[in-house]
Amino acid sequence: MQSFLIFAFSTALAAGPGSESGSALPWYRGALVVSMAYGGEQGASERASVEEAPVPVPEPSEQALRYYWSGNILWVVGQVWGVLVPAAFLFTGFSARIRDWAQRIGRKWVFVVGVYFILFMAINVVLELPLSFYVGYIRQHAYGLSNQSLSKWWMDFIKGFLVVALQGALFLWVPYLILRKSPRRWWLYTSLLVVPFICFQLLIAPVLIDPLFNEFSPMKNQELETDILSLAEQAGIEGSRVFEVDKSVDTKTVNAYVTGFFGTKRIVLWDTTLAKLEPEEILFIVGHEMGHYVLGHIFSTILVVSVVLGVALYCIYRVSGALIERYQTRFGFTVLSDVASLPLLLLLMHVLSLALIPLVLGYSRYHEREADRFGLELTRSNRAAAIAFVKLQEENLGVPRPGPLVRIWRSSHPSLAERIEFCNTYRPWLKGEPSRYGRYFRDHKDHKDLNDIKVVHPVRERG
């Protein structure tokens, strides 16, 4: 199902652990302490000078570069795998044999589709197990990025398979029914159905799926939660909810995201993020996530995915008939509405995704840049924002300036170097220029940045 999941914008920032020696603070933490220490009118100019000083983009460590290049190799392996496996199912006639098994088990057509999908996924999971284990467990431990136990990895792996198998068994019959009823316009109707389906997924995922893998809870730091809720009120968000998740049982990396739809919408902070970033840095990250919510990025992304998927499905409609006609003897089916055609759909979708995914990722990068802009305008804490990205790079083994091919085909976010430099330079309020998103803020006529507020959070020492 990799080709379908490509369109879901499942993104995470990449970066790696830094090192500290003795009791000395890293340069960025020392600067933050100085910035927090200034108070009153006497220190205003010094504080402003520190806040406006640019944060340099750090060079990647040798370990980060190895992680980067090995990740690129694994991406290429994944692309080749995404072609070879469904092609093998097709040209050996194995997919048709799975359909025959499903017909003996399910008998009724709807059940046949569900049983076929479960069998197909189970075989795929077994085939992909060595690669999945290496990528998800061995490699993460080898680079010092994982806390996950072997038993936890296996449990998450099995749960992931069961969730996907159940969803496919429940819903795959819908597009195949459309294929049977409308063989000429199925691509259009299916792409339109993607909108309510993704909305449904976003609605249930935070409350039914995500808790299967990690424990979610209200924030334990009540003081920081109060600051976040105040920031949400300033951003014009009523009834906002912020959760922390115990990702430290799985990983040492840091991240945050916005998820959910309607009543389940929420901002989620990894507990590793709360442990490794200072309060001002966390507030910027939360402001960034609030930008996704206020600017309507979730729904607009769903619409873009629906359009791109419609284009891909139309291309499949145009070429699949000729392929089936030519290879029907080897495939073991004569029409696309036969459930045995699923590997053909996945194969063509995978190939087309290589051409279409740059459009999707480019749109995602635009959203991320605008969310950064929103977070900066909301908090006006540029230095803390830049330092947050430096920490993301160091904690997640990131490379700040990836190559152009990586940016085009793999990057859903602007590069870390671009984001740090944007934080260093974007200050329209200092030039007397209007903020692009100031109209969304409750107090945009009398906006105060976080550095004008007395900071009462202690600076945490990192072990």
In this structure, what token pair is assigned to residue 114? 């569900």
Residue 326 burial (10 A CB sphere; 0-12, 13-18, 19+): exposed
Distance CA 418, CA 420 (A): 6
- Interacting residues of 54 by C-beta distance below 8 A, sequence separation 6+: 386, 424, 425
- Interacting residues of 35 by C-beta distance below 8 A, sequence separation 6+: 47, 50, 51, 383, 451
Q: What is the torsional sign of CA 377, 383, 389, 392?
A: negative
Amino acid occupying residue 317: Y
- Which one is catalytic: 289, 377, 395, 421? 289
Q: How long, in residues, is the chain?
A: 463
- Interacting residues of 253 by C-beta distance below 8 A, sequence separation 6+: 12, 15, 145, 270, 272, 395, 396
Q: Label the pairing between strands 242-245 and 216-218.
A: antiparallel
Residue 289 annotated among the catalytic residues of the structure: yes
What SS3 string covers 262-307?
HHHCEEEEEHHHHHHCCHHHHHHHHHHHHHHHHCCHHHHHHHHHHH
Query: What's phi and psi for 223, nearest 5 deg?
Result: -65, -45
Distance CA 391, CA 58 (A): 10
Distance CA 23, CA 103 (A): 68
CB contact at 8 A, 394 and 343: no
What SS3 string covers 215-228?
CEEECCCHHHHHHH
Report how far apart, in Å, the C-alpha atoms of 160 and of each of 51, 114, 246, 248 are: 44, 17, 18, 19
Tell me the CA end-to-end span of the chain in Å, nearest whole number.
41
Edge to edge, the sheet with strand 242-245 lists: 216-218, 242-245, 266-270, 256-259
CB contact at 8 A, 347 and 87: yes
Residues assigned a catalytic role: 289
